[in-house]
C-alpha cells in the first residue's frame, strides 16, 4: 500500500525500485523488533553502571532501584539473550549506544514509576514477570518520546510499531526463563512466503493498474473516480487483484482484510465504502465466472 501510494504521488512506476522499497521495509520491521526488545539489555547495562557508581561513592542501599532491575530473572533473561545481541551486531543497530540519553530516560521512567515502587515490597515469579511486563507497557510502548524518535528514524516503523509492541508483550507473558528456547525470536528471511506474496501482489498491480482501475469505474455508485480517496482507490485495486489473480485466498478473507486496513489508514467511513464496493464487485465476478478460487470454502 505504501509503495502504491508513493507511485500515485511521485509517478515512479519502476517495479524494481518499488520491490526494493518493499524488501527494505520488511527487513526494517525485524530491525524494529530487535531494537525494542534489546531495550531490556540496554536498561539492564545502564543499571549495572549505576550499581558500580553506587559502590564507588559508597552509598549502596539495601533496596536500591538498581538491585530490583539486576536481580529480576525476567529482565536478566531478555538482557542476556545472545541471539538478540548477535542480530543487533550483524545489522549494525547501535541506536541505544549513539542515543544513550533515551536509555537513561527509560531507566528513570522505570524507577520512578509506581509499579517499581510496589515491586520493592515483594518478590515472586508472578511479580517478577509483571515487573517486566509493566516496564515494557508503561515505559516503552506508551512513550511519546520513543514514538517521535522512531518516526524520525524510519518512515515505516510507525506502521509496524503496534504489531511489534503486541508481539513483545505476548512474549514477555509467555516466556519460560528456565528454557532459553521459549523465547521464539523472529527470523528474517527475504525469501519467505509472506515476502514473496507481497512482491507478487505489488508486481501484479503495477503491471495491471489500468485494467484494475477499469474494474472499479462503474462499480462505485454516486462516486466519480477522482472523488474516491487515494488510499481507498489503492486498496480497491489491491483487493481486486487478490480476487482475480490469487486463487488460494478466500473472497471473504480478502474483503475483511481491506476493510480493516481502511479503518487504520483511510477516512472514517472508508471501511463501509470499501466493504460495499468489494461486496458488489465480488458478486459480479462470481456471476460472470471470473473467480477462479481453488479449494472448498474459498468463494
Determine, yes or no, domain membership for 249. Answer: yes
pLDDT tens digits, 179-209:
988 999 999 898 899 899 999 999 999 999 9
149 shares a domain with 51? yes
At residue 118 the predicted structure's pLDDT band, cuts being 50, 70 and 90, is confident
26 shares a domain with 137? yes
213 shares a domain with 160? no
The pLDDT score that the predictor gives to residue 6 is: 79
**pTM for this prediction:** 0.84
Q: Exposed, middle or buried, 219 (CB in 10 Å: 0-12/13-18/19+)? A: middle
Determine, yes or no, domain membership for 295. Answer: no
At residue 58 the predicted structure's pLDDT band, cuts being 50, 70 and 90, is low
Q: Read off the C-alpha cell for 143.
A: 512513550
The residue-averaged pLDDT of 162-174 equals 96
Distance CA 53, CA 161 (A): 35
234 shares a domain with 108? no
Domain count, the chain: 2
Residue 224 confidence (pLDDT) above 70: no
79 shares a domain with 133? yes
162 shares a domain with 40? yes
Long-range contacts at 97-105 (CB < 8 A, ≥ 24 apart):
99/149, 102/145, 102/146, 102/149, 103/39, 103/42, 103/43, 103/46, 104/46, 105/145
Determine, yes or no, domain membership for 244. Answer: yes
The residue-averaged pLDDT of 147-167 equals 94
Task: Please calculate the CA angle 264-191-244 and round it to the nearest 5 degrees.
Answer: 55
Q: What is the CATH number of the domain that holds 265?
A: 1.10.940.10
Domain that includes residue 152, residue range: 15-182
The residue-averaged pLDDT of 207-222 equals 82
Amino acid at each position: 500500500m505504501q509503495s502504491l501510494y508513493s507511485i500515485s504521488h511521485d509517478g515512479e512506476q519502476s517495479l524494481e525500485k518499488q520491490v526494493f522499497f518493499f524488501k527494505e521495509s520488511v527487513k526494517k520491521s525485524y530491525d524494529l523488533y530487535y531494537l525494542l526488545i534489546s531495550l531490556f539489555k540496554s536498561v539492564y547495562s545502564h543499571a549495572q553502571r549505576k550499581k558500580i557508581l553506587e559502590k564507588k561513592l559508597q552509598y549502596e542501599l539495601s533496596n536500591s532501584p538498581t538491585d530490583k532491575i539486576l536481580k529480576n530473572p525476567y529482565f536478566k533473561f531478555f538482557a542476556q539473550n545472545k541471539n538478540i545481541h548477535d542480530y543487533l551486531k550483524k545489522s549494525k543497530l547501535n541506536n541505544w549506544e549513539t542515543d544513550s540519553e533515551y536509555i537513561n530516560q527509560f531507566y528513570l521512567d522505570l524507577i520512578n514509576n509506581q509499579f517499581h515502587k510496589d515491586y520493592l515490597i515483594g518478590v515472586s515469579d508472578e511479580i517478577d514477570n509483571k515487573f517486566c511486563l509493566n516496564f515494557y507497557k508503561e515505559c516503552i510502548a506508551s512513550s511519546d518520546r520513543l514514538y517521535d524518535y522512531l518516526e524520525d528514524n524510519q518512515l515505516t516503523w510507525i506502521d509496524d510499531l503496534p504489531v511489534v509492541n503486541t508481539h513483545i508483550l505476548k512474549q514477555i507473558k509467555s516466556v519460560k526463563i528456565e528454557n532459553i528456547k521459549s523465547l521464539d525470536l523472529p527470523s528474517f528471511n527475504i525469501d519467505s512466503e509472506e515476502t514473496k506474496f507481497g512482491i507478487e501482489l505489488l508486481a501484479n498491480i503495477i503491471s495491471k493498474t489500468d485494467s484494475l482501475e477499469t474494474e472499479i469505474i462503474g462499480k462505485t455508485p454516486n462516486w466519480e473516480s477522482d472523488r474516491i480517496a487515494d488510499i481507498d482507490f489503492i486498496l480497491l485495486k489491491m483487493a481486486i487483484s487478490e480476487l482475480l489473480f490469487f486463487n488460494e485466498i478466500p473472497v471473504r478473507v480478502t474483503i475483511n482484510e481491506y476493510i480493516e486496513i481502511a479503518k487504520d489508514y483511510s477516512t472514517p467511513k472508508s471501511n463501509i465504502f470499501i466493504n460495499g464496493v468489494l461486496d458488489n464487485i465480488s458478486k459480479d465476478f462470481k456471476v460472470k465466472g471470473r473467480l477462479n478460487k481453488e479449494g472448498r470454502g474459498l468463494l
